[in-house]
Structure 1
Amino acid sequence: MNIDGKTRLLGLLGDPVEHTMSPVIHNTLSDVLGFNEVYVPFHTTSEGLKNAVKGAYDLNILGMNATVPHKNAVMDMLVDIDAGAKAIGAVNTLVRVEGGYKGYNTDMMGLSRELDVYGISLKERNAVILGAGGAARAVAYMCAAKGCKKVFILNRTLQKAEGIASDMNRYFKKDIFLPVLLADYEKLYDEYNDEKFVVFQSTSIGLAPHNEDVVIDDSRFYELIDVGIDLIYNPFETKFMRLCRENGAKAYNGLRMLLYQGIIAYELWNNISVAEDVADIVYNKMLKSVRKNIILIGFMGCGKTTVGTAVAGRLGYNLLDVDLYIEKEAGCSISQIFADKGEQYFRELETDTLKKLNASISHTVISTGGGLPMRPENAEELRKLGTVIYLDVQPEEVIRRLSGDTSRPLLQGDDVERKVNRLMDERRPVYESEADCVIPVTGRDVEEIVDELVCIVE
């Protein structure tokens, strides 16, 4: 990032703002697209909001986002407001225009784009919204705009659900929104008629660290769901999502919504259109920030299991060995899989396993088999899964550490040194190209390696 006299400033108004992911989105976009812009968070109190908006305009700030608790109050400080934002009653994006800023709500636009990317149509569908806060109002607007047939709003306080339903029915001039007391969710069973629901979980229930909390904990309810979307993205898989999947439904979190609401804001500020391949670059960077998985790759004998166990203990992460996971799922050893179905089948099994893990896990140290990164499909999944660390070991150290190990066919017979060197020469360039970081391990103790690794990922 090169800051000079032509650099334009973008920012976020909120209280608090310390844990926002918005700088990751917008600064990555500027880097990839070559825009001379910098995005920073501005800690702004409610008392200082009016002066902050006026000062931002006077300082020639190009655009801003607004987050909690300012999405409603900031509307009084704008020179214009987009029709959708007016209907929702909240603004999260401020675009510089003559005399001040115009407000937009890109939350509902971001969720709409997420559904499009996943191929989810709401046309003539029945939807359920869990919750009746500000996020639910944005979801309700989107549901009507995308052609839902009926939308049930479930909330612990019926009055709030009634308020959203009444406002949206009036705005769209059709009676499709129905408020339901959350305790009476079983009324939905009468509306089922073999047509499953698209359900949006818009509350904060299930947000980390309360990962096992859920709005409705009734398996029968989840049998009625075709697609479940949780606006929460931390944890990466909420209990709501898990219950959806366990009952045969597709389930998605809110990370892509966060991505696209940010991208749409960036498009508005710069009057551009961001291509999907650029969005994918930003999304993969966000994944690493949110999920914080650590993937260890490297040749056999490099210490993936030992180092992984120590790192997981230090950080309080889960530990997962891909080979052991596959053996457990298959009900037999990897050597038996090779013998019965061949290496190609096993490599495809590795890819399927990584895709499955990509849908759910976070805060996990993952130890991989030595050959796993060699398949391009696997390498792509690893990049999505988290930060990839290559533990680089010298050939002589491999032979020393694994001498006498009869479980590894490569180390049996004659010319072991030649075979190890040949295979390492083949794999090392791939390991290096796929890794976010390389850590030499030869001649170093575990604590020293772990100290370096933790510094990298934190």
Structure 2
Amino acid sequence: MVDGKTKILGVIGDPIEHTFSPAMHNAGLNELGLNYIYLPFHVKEERLGECIQGAKAMGIKGLNVTIPHKSNVIKHLDDIDSVASMIGAVNTIQFIYDEDNESSNQDNGINVRTKGFNTDGYGCVRAIEEKTSIKDKKVSITGAGGAARAVAFQIANSGIDELSILNRNLSKAQSLANDLKINLESIGIDISINAYDLEELKRELSDSDIFIDTTPIGMYPNVDDKPVASADMLHEDLLVNDIVYTPMKTSLIREAELANAEVVYGYKMLLYQGIRSFEIWLGREAPADVMENALLDVLGI
């Protein structure tokens, strides 16, 4: 029950009506018996700075950030962690209050620091590692946008041996590869780029251990679109992760199952990025099973 002591978490975006995060987070908060509530906030781009200042003034404890604010919000924050800095995007904001003077902070936002994190790549890696170790594997990624950047930086820093990036716009793939090499020069993994066409994809997947599709291909309502021609392009020793979660069984996932490949559903990345945010804000382990069940319920799965 909401009362005068209830603390606030939330998510900001434009639009925001589609968000599934409140169901997941509120289920976790309820399970732990915490007097918190997680709310969605519709924030236009031109009001983003005011939003962050207002959140400080109101004593909000944490925010998730979704489209289109993940990059623009950085200039409004006091600090960002190294992963978010490399990716150039933030999806989680922690508000750090002076505990000795918290009431005045809530009144006027004084002595409140904000720190940004990016938990998207963490969510993807944790979902994959439920099924297999990433260490010393060859990973192929399709796409070079924001989701691909988050996944690529996290996975490249997780002990893999080789990373292949395929994208229709080859210059974007080259830019991502260059950023990875500059920021992770001590990692020493083999990074290659290729144009995203069926022949190149088939060749790269033939000796890949893990395939991650970060493109929106197959997302509702275009559910029959798929990034591969058929199951013949896949193999049974491959793990296939499609980060699209509506529908849960995308065309790519269905082809992977026909090929007897291991699959990771897209909702798992959404779940684990949220769990990591939850743990950053509250400093305690999240009730993962409860949050997963709530997410599946709101997704209608």
**Shared fold by TM > 0.5?**
yes
TM-score by length of 1: 0.60
Q: Tell me how far 1:184 sits from its aligned partner.
A: 6.3
Provide the rounded CA distance (Å) in 2 between the counterparts of 1:191 and 1:226. Answer: 8
Partner of 2:258: 246
Partner of 1:31: 30
Provide the rounded CA distance (Å) in 1 between the counterparts of 2:201 and 2:248. Answer: 30
The one of 266, 269, 277 aligned to 1:265 = 277
- Over residues 128-171 of structure 1, what are the superposed CA-to-partner deviations in whole Å (9 max), with x where a residue is unaligned? 10111110011111221111111111111001111111111121
The one of 286, 292, 296 aligned to 1:283 = 292
Q: 1:177 to 1:185 in 2, by over 3 A?
A: farther
- Over residues 228-265 of structure 1, what are the superposed CA-to-partner deviations in whole Å (9 max), with x where a residue is unaligned? 00101110100001111111201121212111111111
Does 1 or 2 have the higher relative contact order (CA < 8 Å, sep 6+)?
Answer: 2
Amino acid at match of 1:114: A
The one of 113, 136, 156 aligned to 2:126 = 113
Partner of 1:71: 70
Partner of 1:330: none
Mapping of 1:36-435 within 5 angstroms? 36-98=35-97, 99-116=112-129, 118-173=130-185, 174-183=188-197, 185-186=199-200, 189=203, 192=206, 195-223=207-235, 226-274=238-286, 278-292=287-301
Amino acid at match of 1:110: G
- Over residues 197-247 of structure 1, what are the superposed CA-to-partner deviations in whole Å (9 max), with x where a residue is unaligned? 300010111001111101221443223761000101110100001111111
Asked if structure 1 preserves the Cα contact closer than 8 Å seen for 2:123 and 2:276, the reply is: yes
Provide the rounded CA distance (Å) in 2 between the counterparts of 1:190 and 1:26. Answer: 38
Between Structure 1 and Structure 2, the one with more helix by share is 1
Q: Which runs of 5+ in 2 are unaligned?
A: 98-111
Aligned length in residues: 285
TM-score by length of 2: 0.90
Provide the rounded CA distance (Å) in 2 between the counterparts of 1:77 and 1:25. Answer: 27
- Tell me whether 177-186 or 69-78 shows the greater mean CA deviation: 177-186
Amino acid at match of 2:295: M
1:12 aligns with 2:11: yes
Provide the rounded CA distance (Å) in 2 between the counterparts of 1:130 and 1:190. Answer: 11
- Tell me whether 199-208 or 212-221 shows the greater mean CA deviation: 212-221
Asked if structure 2 preserves the Cα contact closer than 8 Å seen for 1:125 and 1:148, the reply is: yes
Amino acid at match of 1:180: N
RMSD, aligned α-carbons: 1.7
SS in 2 for 1:48: helix
Q: Which runs of 5+ in 1 are unaligned?
A: 293-458
SS in 2 for 1:284: helix
Provide the rounded CA distance (Å) in 2 between the counterparts of 1:211 and 1:291. Answer: 16
- Over residues 423-448 of structure 1, what are the superposed CA-to-partner deviations in whole Å (9 max), with x where a residue is unaligned? xxxxxxxxxxxxxxxxxxxxxxxxxx
Amino acid at match of 2:292: Y
Asked if structure 2 preserves the Cα contact closer than 8 Å seen for 1:122 and 1:148, the reply is: yes
Q: Tell me how far 1:119 sits from its aligned partner.
A: 3.0
Q: Tell me how far 1:189 sits from its aligned partner.
A: 2.3
Identity of aligned residues (%): 36
Q: 1:219 to 1:12 in 2, by over 3 A?
A: same
Asked if structure 1 preserves the Cα contact closer than 8 Å seen for 2:140 and 2:205, the reply is: no
